[in-house]
Structure 1
Amino acid sequence: MKHFLLLLLTLGLWSGFTEVQIIQAQFGPPGGGPGGPPGMGGQDNRRKKEFTGVADDTPKGNGKLTGLLVDSTSGKPVEFATVALINVATNKPIDGTTSDAKGQFVMNKLAPGDYRLQYSFIGYKSRESQKITVTKGTDMNLGAIKLPADVRTLGEVVVTGQAALIEEKVDRLVFNADKDITAKGGDASDVLKRVPMLSVDLDGNVSLRGSQNIRVLINNKPSTIVAANVADALKQLPADMIKSVEVITSPSAKYDAEGAAGIINIVTKKNTLHGLTLNVDAGAGLRASNLGLNGSYRQGKLGLTLGGFGRAMYNRASSTLDQTTVVGGQSLRTNQTGTAFDKPIFGQYTLGIDYDLAKDQSLSANIRYGTRNFIQQQNQLTNTYANESLLSMTNRDVDRKDLSNSVDMNLDYIRTFKPQQEWSISTQYSRTGLTNNFYADLLGQTGELTGRQRNLNNNTNQEVTFQTDYQTPIRKNQLLEFGGKAIMRQVDSRYQYQIGGSTGELAFDPTNPSGSLKYNQNIGAGYISYSYVTPSKYTFKIGTRYEHTGISAKANENTPLNIPSYSNLVPSVNVSKSLKGGTTLKAAYNRRIQRPGLQQLNPNVNAANPQMIMVGNPNLSPELTDNAELSVSSTIKKTYLNASVFGRLTNNAISQIRIPSDTLAGSIITTYQNIGVQRTVGANVFFNTSITSKWTVNGGLDGYYVYMQGLTPGADGKSITISNSGVSIGGRLMSQLQLDNGWSAQLFSFFRGPMPQLQGTMGSFYMYSVGVRKDVANKRGSVGLAAENFIGGGVTMRTNLNSPLLSQVNVTHLYNQNVKVTFTYRIGKMSFDAPRRKGRSVSNDDVKGDGDGGGQQPAAPAPAAAPGGGRPK
């Protein structure tokens, strides 16, 4: 039997079959036991007879065997492994099944007799059990069976135990970030640059299929710092602690309705070690250095983790700005040159506790504290002309301080009644304090100090969340899920301007008065989701979610803002079909909500650069987006392919609007309004291929066409309708090579073409990196060297904006060349336990980032006033 399986596997690989396809051909679709996907447990007797010779009249009884297959090293479940039932007397297989997505398997209706079980899967050594005697009524749980990894040659086919870089799940695409060596010593934004369908610009803003209207979660948990500023939050999360990134383009009703384009879930490494361990991660480079320490202790029912991470960065940038504005019929032209030096420092500290209350009950608690200290020194030289005559010349030295601290606390409980039937309660408290200040020295033509200016802006964002979820199987091919959630959110912003001469105290600026915003948002939600798998391998997952949002807001302490409450019914439909040859077709539709974020609501007038003033709008309403998607995936020999087409329709879209200032000559005010209509259609293709057992290449192309329509002030002062459309294309390519003696190498490159905006076009950019790593001390540690954008003088980005009242050309040059050395080492006792089931965690997916997503008006690049990779606040 062993030789027969090896021969069949070899033939299947040669003919383009993966082992999962061979398993399905032998014994039917994956599953067959509790905990597996609904409806995936039946045997296909016709196929079983065709491929194994097992007759349909195999003796049956009422015996039952169950078990769990796990990786002997990591303790992770081994999905879709073959489990063959061998008759001891004849030494021939008489039945079989496969493990499900959780590694579980079950064999039902076994006749009395003596048997052995044989476990096999590509990349693992085959194992056989001892003799198992089945009698009438036997119901035996074999527990966890550990499969050791293996490297073997079958003819000309080399099979390794290396996990795939990209995995496709039923409802998401998973990028296994722990295989990426060039991102070590970096942060989460460095990892997201490599994920299919995602792009990260020079400021760290993340887009999914051209839209920044996404929700970013960390271990299925939200964070108030992410809600306030996604780009800065990602810099607080070290790349070395990221296990995988999940891209969910069509979330089910179980998820919050936020994120018009979808959800990105960053999964960090969860320690399953038994005993006491300590991990050290360090790196030093031309643009950043980092140090991380993470310890864990696990004994019996109790597990503790404690970690800290810090990263210091430094970077230079320069930019030029050439803009023309029309105010009161007069044309004003402004030229500005700027230089900047960034010195951000980020830190993160975590404490986690989990405890098994009983065999079927667990409790977990987590505390995360994050800090950000972004300091930027700028110099701005600005000339303003009226009718080609010099109207004014200003020189400013500006110190920007964007500081924050955040705390997230979770307490989660889960009760499991039987496989797939469970109930959970999750709670969360989050609070973030934000400080966005600047101090400017105004200089004369000869460099003398002529005046000073300061803006103080302090904000807090607080959330309290309660959530409960319940799921239960209905028969073998159906699953029912429902739950409820309540979010209480409070935003408090206070701001003021101060001015002064070259000496003396600063005084309040009457032209920029102080103010405040108190914004309370309460959300109540309930959902129901139903999954059904047909015998013909169609999978349907339909659901709906109802959310009611109540808002109360006050400006300047006592002035109420009339922002109405609203309710939304959000449906979702996901359909998939498994075809022969390992091909899967998917179709999906959903409606999503995008609520405005803190920076879009904040009415503080940020004039760190007087030529590029930023101000929020507390009266913004949420936007609604309808999404549709079709995709196909398949494995052809050693190559995995995934292709999809999608469409989005957004009304009442939140759009950036740029208008000339009527108080400061030549300046532009950028704010937000619900005036946009956006229609997007696009496609993306991704591939992952193994050239040899040690050399893999993956990459893809993303492209979309977008039409945008909105309002802007016209020359006569009245609003006029403007529109824009265009195509944007991006792509990535990565190659990984495993060498002898613990050496490995990787090459990565990425580009994004120009992106259409409502009032112009955002420029293109690119990045690339190469790295090598050497494992040391029996793989307890590693030493690496990586370089980024090392040819030339950095990256240049050019952005054009046009409307009836303004035109602008902004060129930003970022000196982002980098060479870094990384070091990791792990000490402590290492015995592995099976992964422990944790309680479900709160997952708030409902706030729009400060980037202007949707493809209609992405967040502006660093202007001349704010170069260096930082966005104006």
Structure 2
Amino acid sequence: MKTNLFLITTLLLVGSLLTPGQAQSPTIPPSAPAKALPGTAGDQSPKGSARIVGSVMDSTQAKAVEFASIALYTKATGKAVDGTVADEKGKFTLTKLVAGQYDVLVSFVGFRNKTITNLTLTDGQTLDLGVIKLSSSIKTLEEVTVVGQAALIEEKVDRLVYNAEKDITSKGGDASDVLRKVPMLTVDLDGNVSLRGSQNIRVLINNKPSTIVASSVSDALKQIPADQIKTVEVITSPSAKYDAEGSGGIINIITKKNSLQGLNLNVDSGVGNRGSMLSLNGNYRKGKAGFTLGGFGRAMYNTITKTNLDQTSQVNDVTTLTRQSGNGNSSGLFGQYNLGFDYDLAKNQSITAGVRYGVRNMLNQQDLVTQLFTNNTLVSTGNRNVDVKNLSGTVDANVDYLHTFKPQQEWSVSTLYSRNDLTNNFDANLFSGSGELTARQRNLNKNVNQEFTLQTDYQTPIRQNQLLEFGGKAIFRQVNSDYRYLLAGPSGGFTTEANNTLGELTYHQNIAAGYSSYTFTTKNRYTFKGGLRYEHTFIDASTREGGSLGIGDYGVLVPSVNASRTFKGTTLKLGFNRRIQRPGLQQLNPNFNAANPQNITIGNPRLNPELTNNVELGVSKSIGKTFINATFFGRVTNNAITQVSQPSDTIPGAIVTSYQNIGRQHAYGTNLFANVAASSKITVGLFLNAFYTSLTGQTMGLDGASIEQTNNGFNISGGTFMNATFKNGWGAQAFGFMQGSQVQLQGRQGGFGFYTIGVKKEFNNKKASLGLAAENFLTNRFNIHTVLNSPLLSQVNDVYLYNRGIRLTFTLKIGKMTMEAPRRKAKSVNNDDVKSDGSSQTQAGGGSTGGQSRP
């Protein structure tokens, strides 16, 4: 934060050097100086036709020095005659220069000044100074040690950026371990992500969507190694440029990249009592071309779960009590393999292409003992052994083109093809109370989700402090889901069950969208960003049994307004936006999932989209060595999609959970974050998320008629973390998190806790490291206690998770690289629309349902 203040102060002072018509970042306006220098608007020096161009880079890192100051001095008199400021890519241009001899001074706070002498210009000449490398000053390095830790969180007009590069405890883990530490986010023990209590969010990886993310956010996060994550962007108030989907907001995970010349190979590995991983990532760059090839594999094992369930249902004046206990375990293999290519077609044009393949094999096994009581009399006892297979393979392929005309004026065309083949099956063996095999069951559910996207975007600066963006997008999606429910005796073949359990869903969803966005920055540091987006959705959905579902097309107009002001180390932000949430395949899929016949899930293919209005007010401030961020928000959702449970009419004691547009959902709350640089070596962080929510929907009353049900209450979560660095390459981290119970329409879902501590030792000039991390080592298990109630049912579900763990990690970097200026890559497709299931609960026998696929 302090660095940002230095940036702005420097810009305000150097703004006096700019001549009319010179390029400048549209987000940082010039300011009237106390004294004008020759060559400014206040000086009538003659102008010529020569130009000087170049770029400024940090000599120790492959990244630009944003907004560096460039001053031009005449060789004869030594007086400053012109000047400018580099843009956010480090590039600068001096125009209309008179022929002669000059010196150029490049400076920026935190770096040593650099002077380039004896430059000779002739009329009409363009002199390219190339890449100018600035080295850090010793004095500033001491300050940056403190400021850099305070800048763990960065504020932008429409988002919060969490810098996750130095995470010891997450090494050997996955993306969910990193997201747990991000302000405003909550990640449960299954990996489901919430933003301010809403799981209706969109998760992007390097600004790109993927059908694996659409199928299951939690499973997608398991495929991303934690140590490959550079930053996490939490976009709570998306501009019109983003898709309208995601009523809670957008999370963009940026992975580490480099612009190094040469060949290198990074090896990351880890082994623990509950999981192991191995990652190999190679990069090769020569001249204008670059290649990346990577692979990541992760195995999970020894994941034990115990469950206890008591549920009471009432149907036709008959009360049935179901009592279950279960023991289960799960194992899984996750993999991600990618091949990337980029090439500079010209100095201002580039093309990027990539192919990524992801694989997920999750196996869940559970043994259940079930007792049924009717009117307080035991009527049956049975055992059930269930094996669930949740398998998927995902392919993403993209080709992107970018043409940069001048700083911040660019045009891009992006394409993306994505396919996800998802299998979610289970086999169950049924035993009598005496242990005799009595029957077998099998549920087969095959899903294919395909989409193709074509997108074009254009942006251009207007004058010196304004930016205009507009573009269009087309998305073509098709989802197919085949499902069947089979029965068999103790031996022999399977036959299809008669009661409507053989079917197919075909769902076509095409979206046409256009947007325009405008950014304006004033001299006194106000920034305004407003936009308007229109999306029209065309739907053609049908089932094998019922034919067309008759879901109509619909359009939505989505406005967004964001404003910010920075003064005296304080930044204020105010934002409003409207979002749409389309139902995903998990909500639509009519497959009768009865891995546990007493807890059945089934989708609702006739769901309508939900609309949400969001407003937020944020403030952030640096006070000495402490950075504080507080955000207050309100969210009103109409036609909200949520889970609703009802007693089964056909299976005694069973509860059927489906999805409905319940009506209204309100949420109001705050997110607080504080980061304290206790010393140049130690940083401590605290965060708190608290909000009040109210849900109103329709459930079934005792007489069978629909009645209104309302539930409300507070949801609170928070945690703390500590980072420490020591001499000789030693470092340590600790993290703890607690989430309270969460309000649902029919009750509350239980809370949980999570904590971890780790140490790391770096060797060989940071080319190798060895780390050790332990998690939940003081507690044998966590109990997630969930209670649901309605006039016709009550349910108490206790899930005991045994997740005490320890892991050892090792990293090795091979190869000799040389640095070059960072390249501007072609932009990629950014489909910001998914309805994450997220509301799934681990129930006795429920197993894994495979999440959802985006329609």
Give TM-score scaled by structure 1 length.
0.92
- Report the aligned-residue RMSD: 2.9
The partner residue of 1:456 within 444, 448, 461 is: 444
1:532 alignment partner AA: F
2:384 maps to what in 1?
Answer: 396
Determine the C-alpha separation between the residues in 2 that align with 1:712 and 1:583.
Answer: 47
Matched, 1:625 2:612: yes
2:820 maps to what in 1?
Answer: 833
1:319 alignment partner AA: T
2:503 maps to what in 1?
Answer: 515
Task: For residue 365 of structure 1, give the secondary structure of its aligned residue in structure 2.
Answer: strand
Contact 1:743 1:773 in 2 (8 A): yes
1:102 alignment partner AA: K
Deviation at 1:871, TM superposition (A): 7.2
2:355 maps to what in 1?
Answer: 367
The partner residue of 2:421 within 430, 433, 436 is: 433
Alignment of 1:20-419 (within 5 A): 20=7, 22-23=9-10, 26-27=13-14, 37-38=25-26, 40-46=28-34, 62=47, 66-81=53-68, 99-105=86-92, 114-122=102-110, 124-130=111-117, 132=119, 140-149=127-136, 151-152=138-139, 164-314=151-301, 315-419=303-407
Identity %: 55
Determine the C-alpha separation between the residues in 2 that align with 1:843 and 1:298.
Answer: 26
Deviation at 1:86, TM superposition (A): 7.0
2:580 alignment partner AA: I
Determine the C-alpha separation between the residues in 2 that align with 1:109 and 1:506.
Answer: 83
1:866 maps to what in 2?
Answer: 846
Determine the C-alpha separation between the residues in 2 that align with 1:672 and 1:593.
Answer: 17
Which has the higher mean CA deviation after the structures are superposed, 18-27 or 32-41? 32-41
The partner residue of 1:816 within 793, 799, 803 is: 803
Alignment of 1:334-733 (within 5 A): 334-511=322-499, 513-556=501-544, 559-579=547-567, 581-733=568-720
Task: For residue 267 of structure 2, give the secondary structure of its aligned residue in structure 1.
Answer: strand
Contact 2:268 2:810 in 1 (8 A): yes
1:174 alignment partner AA: V
2:520 alignment partner AA: Y
Determine the C-alpha separation between the residues in 2 that align with 1:163 and 1:778.
Answer: 25
Deviation at 1:829, TM superposition (A): 2.3
| CA 445–690 in structure 1, closer or farther in 2 if over 3 Å, else same | same
Contact 1:538 1:576 in 2 (8 A): yes
Contact 2:103 2:115 in 1 (8 A): no
1:280 alignment partner AA: V
Deviation at 1:534, TM superposition (A): 2.5
1:690 alignment partner AA: A
User: Unaligned 5+ residue runs, structure 2?
Assistant: none
Deviation at 1:626, TM superposition (A): 0.8
Task: For residue 536 of structure 1, give the secondary structure of its aligned residue in structure 2.
Answer: coil
Task: For residue 19 of structure 1, give the secondary structure of its aligned residue in structure 2.
Answer: helix
2:318 alignment partner AA: Q
Task: For residue 7 of structure 2, give the secondary structure of its aligned residue in structure 1.
Answer: helix
Contact 1:115 1:132 in 2 (8 A): yes
Deviation at 1:188, TM superposition (A): 1.2
Task: For residue 596 of structure 2, give the secondary structure of its aligned residue in structure 1.
Answer: coil
Deviation at 1:530, TM superposition (A): 1.5
Contact 1:319 1:813 in 2 (8 A): yes
1:845 alignment partner AA: D
Determine the C-alpha separation between the residues in 1 that align with 2:397 and 2:473.
Answer: 17
| CA 654–108 in structure 1, closer or farther in 2 if over 3 Å, else same | same
Determine the C-alpha separation between the residues in 2 that align with 1:774 and 1:768.
Answer: 21
CA deviation map 1:390-426 (0-9, x unaligned): 0211210100000000100001111122222211111
Contact 1:152 1:158 in 2 (8 A): no
Deviation at 1:280, TM superposition (A): 0.7
Determine the C-alpha separation between the residues in 2 that align with 1:623 and 1:489.
Answer: 19
2:480 alignment partner AA: D
Task: For residue 608 of structure 1, give the secondary structure of its aligned residue in structure 2.
Answer: strand
| CA 198–86 in structure 1, closer or farther in 2 if over 3 Å, else same | farther
Task: Report how many residues are paired.
Answer: 848
Deviation at 1:616, TM superposition (A): 0.3
Deviation at 1:109, TM superposition (A): 8.1
The partner residue of 1:843 within 827, 830, 844 is: 830
1:616 alignment partner AA: G
| CA 162–685 in structure 1, closer or farther in 2 if over 3 Å, else same | closer
CA deviation map 1:127-169 (0-9, x unaligned): 4444556788886543322233455479999667779322223
CA deviation map 1:743-786 (0-9, x unaligned): 11111111111111111011111111111111112111211111
Determine the C-alpha separation between the residues in 2 that align with 1:845 and 1:528.
Answer: 16
Contact 2:324 2:369 in 1 (8 A): yes
1:854 maps to what in 2?
Answer: none
Determine the C-alpha separation between the residues in 2 that align with 1:460 and 1:409.
Answer: 16
User: Unaligned 5+ residue runs, structure 1?
Assistant: 1-11, 852-858
1:660 alignment partner AA: P
Determine the C-alpha separation between the residues in 2 that align with 1:220 and 1:288.
Answer: 29
2:515 alignment partner AA: Y
| CA 443–735 in structure 1, closer or farther in 2 if over 3 Å, else same | same
| CA 146–34 in structure 1, closer or farther in 2 if over 3 Å, else same | farther
1:370 alignment partner AA: G
Deviation at 1:75, TM superposition (A): 1.2
Which has the higher mean CA deviation after the structures are superposed, 191-200 or 132-141? 132-141
Which has the higher mean CA deviation after the structures are superposed, 634-643 or 786-795? 634-643
2:537 alignment partner AA: T
Determine the C-alpha separation between the residues in 2 that align with 1:749 and 1:720.
Answer: 42
Determine the C-alpha separation between the residues in 2 that align with 1:398 and 1:127.
Answer: 70
| CA 808–154 in structure 1, closer or farther in 2 if over 3 Å, else same | closer
2:776 maps to what in 1?
Answer: 789
Contact 2:732 2:759 in 1 (8 A): yes
Task: For residue 532 of structure 2, give the secondary structure of its aligned residue in structure 1.
Answer: strand
Determine the C-alpha separation between the residues in 2 that align with 1:34 and 1:429.
Answer: 41
CA deviation map 1:298-352 (0-9, x unaligned): 1122111111110000111111111111111111111111111110110011010
Deviation at 1:585, TM superposition (A): 1.6
